[in-house]
Structure formats: structure tokens, C-alpha cells
Amino acid sequence: MDSPAAPDGHRVDGSTPVIIAARRTPIATKGGRLSNTPVDVLAAAVLRAVVTDVETVFAETRADDGADDGPATIDVADVVLGNCMGPGGNTARVASLAAGLGIRVPGITIDRQCGSGLAAVTVAADALVAAAARGDDRVRIAGGAESASTAPARITGGASYARAAFAPTGFPDPEMEPAAEALATSHGIARDRQDAYAARSHDLAVSAVERGAFDAELVTIDGFDADDGPRRSISTMLHRFPPLHGGTVTAGNSCRISDGAAAVAIVPERARGGAPGLAILQTATIGCDPATPGIGPVDAVRSVLAAGGVGLDDIAAFEIVEAFAAQTLAVLDELGLASAEHVDDRVCADGGALALGHPWGASGAVGLVRLFSRLVRAGAPAGTLGIATVAVGGGMGIAALVEVVR
């Protein structure tokens, strides 16, 4: 479908957080081409890239204004990164130092599981607004990083375990595959529909690679400059995958556990110097039943729409982390973005996690990087709106509403 007409850009004021740079590493399958790259090294690569991008864009805007005083330097106020399964030790601070940001730049690492990367951006944006009220317009960098390949084993009582509890005793705490299967059952999402959605993700991502849609957002790391996915022939293979739990969810219509990192640079609107970007208008994080964590984005998306005073028809681009086809389709069905016959063209238009992979702590930030490419880099007019959203283990959903500024 055609993108909706851009609404008037009247929602942005001088202290509104604006993303003016957005980068990600390639996404690699666990045990694959980034399996020897620690999480702080992944993060440092994107931190360096966004700092360089900001310096470049500020230098260009000064040149456009007739100034010629050499390369721009930026003052970074803080680095906020999401991470789920890393070694501890404050990954954001370690990565900040490794990236050469200087000893005075602090860092904080947060864990909201699969929503960590997007949550880090919302935390940084909120801090930026508070600082801007005091006249502090410094850049903040936020995002997420995950190295499933190098994540340490967790041990308690002498025994290792795969993950920490997402809910206490007395609450449901399903593994993610059974939780996706439960949504497939409750929402009547058949195996063939899940496979078709997975094929859609791969096909769109293949097309995006062919036309260079990812090129400007990717950071080369360890000689690796392309995603492991997508798989060109996946549509001919999906029927061969056996069910994971005797139902309809398979490895083929589920995401791959992955390594990767993503980051964005945020400044107040009044400090962007004419640089194009994505204004962060609204964010929401809302809990849901821990038994069905995958449905969490529904209320989060509805919340940012209501707070922003806009409807689904006003949104030009949606990015949802495609952990499972069943889970994603359940969310899209409830939002009215999919039916048994069709998925709205605005959803993950260049493919998503089903094709590229899901580096848990980074994926929410990857969604914002993708919106930056789909809207800002692609030349969408000022006022164009986008939404990024993620389902979170333990029963939560997180979403952000953004608007193009030029």
C-alpha cells in the first residue's frame, strides 16, 4: 500500500529527543562468524560509528551555513546500552572506553530482556529531556548489544541453567517456544500461515540486500560486513521443519539466536543543527500476562498511538521484532495490521528478525536503526511517523513512536 500522507510536524519542540545517527553491526547466528567477538567489542564498533556519523553531519551542516572550521567534535553525556546475557561489568562503560569516547563519558547497562535495546533508548531519551531542561544539550548514545556466542554459563547450586526466571513462583513462566505455540492456538494461526510469514520476511530481506537497503546502516566488524541471513531458498524448505513442541511452531518459522549490536545518537531538537532525524515522540512499556509474553506489543503500540493523538493509518512504517511468526501474527492480528490473507506492507518492509536473526539485547535498537533507514535515509518527508515495538519475556511490551524531522 502507499505510505499515508505525512501529518503536520507540530508535535516536536526544542527539547524533544531526536535520533540523528543510527548504526548496527551485521547480525550473525550464534556460533557463526561473530562467535569470537565479545559483546563489548560488538558495542564499541557501533558506538564509534555513530560518533563519527554525528561529527560528520555536524560538520556538513556547518559547511552548509558557510562555516569552515574543520571537523566537528562532540561531547557525549552518557552511553546507555541494553544487554541480557553478557558477562556483567557494565558493558556500556567497557564499550565506551573501548570505542575511544574518553574516560569522562560514563555508561549504564540495563536489562529488559528482548526489549533491552529499545528500553535503553527510552531511558536515554528521558534523561536527555531532563538535562535539556537544565540547558544541557549534549549528545547521548543508546542501543543494545548481545553476544549469545560468548555469553557465560550461569550456575546456581552447582548446576548450570539456561536463563534466569522471568516470573516468580506462582506465576507462569513458559519458555518462549511454548509461549508462541500458545498464541498460535489461542489466535487460530495455522502452520501454513506461520510459514508464509517467515517466507515473507526472508523474501523482503533478500530484496533489501539486493538493492543495498542495509548498506548505510551496517558497520564492518572483524571483516564481516553482511548479515548471516536471509535465506533465498527458505520458501522451499519451510515445510520440512518438524514442530518444536508437537504443534505448529518450528525452527523455520522462529528467529535464530544471534550476535549483534546497534546504537543511535540522540540530541535535543534545538541542538540538531538542521540535521535530519527521528524525533522520539512517545514511548510506552506495559506489562501483560506472563503466560503469553509475545502479545505485549499490542497494548504498548496502542498506548503510544493514543498518547501521540494518531491512529494506525497515520503510521508509515512499523518495525516489530519477529521472534516467532506465530507471536508476530498474533500481535498484528490484534492491531489490525494483518489478516489470514494479508500482512500490511508497512510492517517490516525489508524483512525482520525471522530473516536476519534476533540478538536479544540489541534487537529493539535494531528496529530503530531500521526505521532510520526506511524513513530518514530514504528521504521520507518531515512529519512522517514510524513505530518500533518488541515483546519482552516475563510479560511486557515496549514501543516507541517516532517522527521524521528535516
Spatial contact of 357 and 82, defined as CB atoms under 8 Å apart = no
Q: Which residues contact 403 (CB under 8 A, 6 or more apart)?
A: 9, 11, 12, 278, 279, 281, 383, 384, 385, 386
Whole-Å CA distances, 239 to 195, 227, 356: 8, 24, 20
- What is the pTM for the complete model shown? 0.95
Closest residue by Cα to residue 178 from 22, 398, 393: 393
Helix (H) or strand (E) holding 296: none
The single residue of 202, 255, 348, 358 carrying the catalytic annotation is 358
pLDDT tens per residue across all 406 residues of the chain: 333 433 444 689 999 999 999 999 999 999 999 999 999 999 999 999 999 999 999 988 766 666 555 556 789 999 999 999 999 899 999 999 999 999 999 999 999 999 999 999 999 999 999 999 999 999 999 999 999 999 998 898 889 888 889 999 999 999 999 999 999 999 999 999 999 999 999 999 999 999 999 999 999 999 999 999 998 888 899 999 999 988 999 999 999 999 999 999 999 999 999 999 999 999 999 999 999 999 999 999 999 999 999 999 999 999 999 999 999 999 999 999 999 999 999 999 999 999 999 999 999 999 999 999 999 999 999 999 999 999 999 999 999 999 999 9
What does the alpha-carbon distance between residue 83 and residue 284 come to, in Å, rounded to a whole number? 19
CATH fold of the domain at 17-150+167-405: Peroxisomal Thiolase; Chain A, domain 1 (3.40.47)
Helix (H) or strand (E) holding 108: strand 107-110
Q: Is 84 annotated as catalytic?
A: no
What does the alpha-carbon distance between residue 78 and residue 320 come to, in Å, rounded to a whole number? 27
The single residue of 84, 114, 288, 348 carrying the catalytic annotation is 114
What does the alpha-carbon distance between residue 360 and residue 162 come to, in Å, rounded to a whole number? 14
Q: Is 10 annotated as catalytic?
A: no
Cβ count within 10 A of residue 33: 18
